[in-house]
Amino acid sequence: MTYLLKLHPEITIKSRSVRQHMTRCLASNVRNTLRLLESGVRVKASWDVLRVSLPETLPAEREREMEESLTRIPGIHEVLATQEVSCGSLDEAAEWIVPHWTPAIAGRRFRVRAKRRGEHAFSSVDLERHLGSALLAAEPSARVDLKHPEVVVSVELTGQRLQLIRSRRPGLGGYPLGVQGEALALVSGGFDSPVAAWRMLRRGIKTHYLFFNLGGPAHEAGVKEVTHHLWQRYSASHNVDFTSVPFEGVVAEILRSIPDGLMGVVLKRMMVRVASRVAARANIPMLVTGDAIAQVSSQTLTNLALIDAASERPILRPLVTEDKQEIIDTARRIDTARFAEQMPEYCGVISRRPHTRAPADKVQAAEAGFDFSVLEAAVDAATVIRANRLGEKPREPGEVTVVDGPARLAEMPAVSVIDIRRPDECEEAPLALPDVPCLEIPFYELQDQAQHLPADRDYLLYCDQGVMSRMQALHLADRGLNHFGVYRRDDATRTRL
């Protein structure tokens, strides 16, 4: 099978040298992407199209997979599946065209669009009329409509070679990946950040990924999964880095030292400070976030300006004016929504009365009491993995006990319940469990204190929704502390988290 790849129109209007450069980059990207699936692919670039030739012995299923891949490569406007045959006359052209297109035009309006190059005894219009008459004779239920056809029968004749256009599929558009430089996208696993990264990929920007881990191994595994999907589906021609920064200590320091209403803005400022450091080390000039105006309290114009002021790199926000539903619709179209829908909500910093217009002087005064050595420690503990390894199966997590209800709890010997909510939440709604020792250790201090608790008891973690306690228990199990479980308020179960 041979495919013709039409260039995105924004490429075709560039100067000759820029267009040639972009076409060469696109050919290389197509070659790199397809050869991950099949080594015998050939890609040839010309002025207005790329010609892709697949091995003749390729199974039909693999051929469909590669065709689908072509529609997701940035820079391609249209993917044409073609077949080239020998043809020297109008009648020969009809012999090839009619059997192929007759089923497609049955009961529908159609027109023939022919392109002809070389010396022939007939014109392009003659070719269109002859083929149109032959198709009508073969399928009387069809009719010709030159202005509003339902089916366009595309024919290209170059010399004595007739190129049959078997199908047309829209491409992704945009620019070839890599021609517009590099950026570092902050990803969290929700709807917004993968869509923001995808928009950068489509515009030809080689995009690396930065993740701030607030929820332990389970949180990181989920974000790795969606990032690998995004990379493999839309940018596999370039291998990039996925950097993970453990941010639980930073969250703990914010909760200790920052006033309630400023926590969200300060958290984002700490993130862009770290992102600037990571980008500087890799010589990446831009940061990318999924912020949209007024979606949450930290995304008002005033607060976005405060966040920008903490960054040493410019921050691009491709979703800044989009509605949430528009973002979700795009996430469904690029197939990242299913990951966001399964991702547990996790935010270690939730202000009860957040400032939508945080005063800059108060933010600076609050940060004066912040221990920035914690931020340095987070940067030093960052890990980097190449995107092509994100799909490797993670180590199976251990089992943790989930106990539902005080009746089941009373049956357990030597057990304590740890309320991991914030102190103000514990004070407002105390956890009362008669005859069961209860400890109060905020989640942001648990990882440090857990190793010092007596190992001859079982500990069940409690929080309002159960999400944070599950993540913390899994994180402790990953460190080898297997005597921590989860307390809820129903029947007891044993589950693999």
Measured in whole angstroms, how far is the alpha carbon of residue 354 from the centre of its chain? 29
Torsion angle of the four alpha carbons 218, 221, 223, 225, in this order, in degrees rounded to the nearest 10: -140
* Alpha carbon distance 458, 69 (integer Å): 51
Does 186 belong to an annotated binding site? yes
In the block, residue with structure tokens 């539903």: 325
Cα–Cα distances in angstroms (integers) from residue 83 to residues 15, 79, 135, 243, in the given order: 32, 13, 19, 45
Does 290 belong to an annotated binding site? yes
Give the pLDDT of residue 311.
96
User: 155-194: buried (b, 16+ CB within 10 Å) or exposed (e) per residue?
Assistant: bbbeeeebbbbbeeeebbbbbbbbbbebbbbbbbbbbbbb
**What are the tens digits of pLDDT across the range 197-231?**
999 999 999 999 999 998 777 788 889 999 999 99
* Alpha carbon distance 428, 466 (integer Å): 18
The tokens describing 151, both together, are 């089916």
Longest dimension (CA), the chain: 100
Give the pLDDT of residue 82.
86
Cα–Cα distances in angstroms (integers) from residue 476 to residues 6, 9, 390, 444, in the given order: 53, 53, 23, 13
Instruction: Region of 150 please: left (phi>0), alpha (psi -120 to 50) or beta.
Output: alpha
Amino acid at 419: D
Q: Which residues contact 39 (CB under 8 A, 6 or more apart)?
A: none
Number of H helices, E strands in the chain: 18, 20
The tokens describing 159, both together, are 């010399």
Fold annotation for 182-389: Rossmann fold (3.40.50)
**What are the tens digits of pLDDT across the range 433-454?**
877 888 999 887 888 888 889 8
Does 136 belong to an annotated binding site? no
For 400-495, CATH gives: 3.40.250.10
Q: Are 288 and 316 in contact (CB under 8 A)?
A: yes
Class of domain 2-170: alpha beta
- Provide the whole-model pTM: 0.78
Does 187 belong to an annotated binding site? yes
Q: Residue ranges of the chain with pLDDT lower than 70?
A: 344-351, 394-399, 467, 489-497
Domain boundary assignment for the chain:
2-170, 182-389, 400-495
Is 87 labeled as catalytic in the residue annotation? no
Q: Which residues contact 186 (CB under 8 A, 6 or more apart)?
A: 193, 210, 211, 212, 271, 272, 275, 287, 288, 289, 290
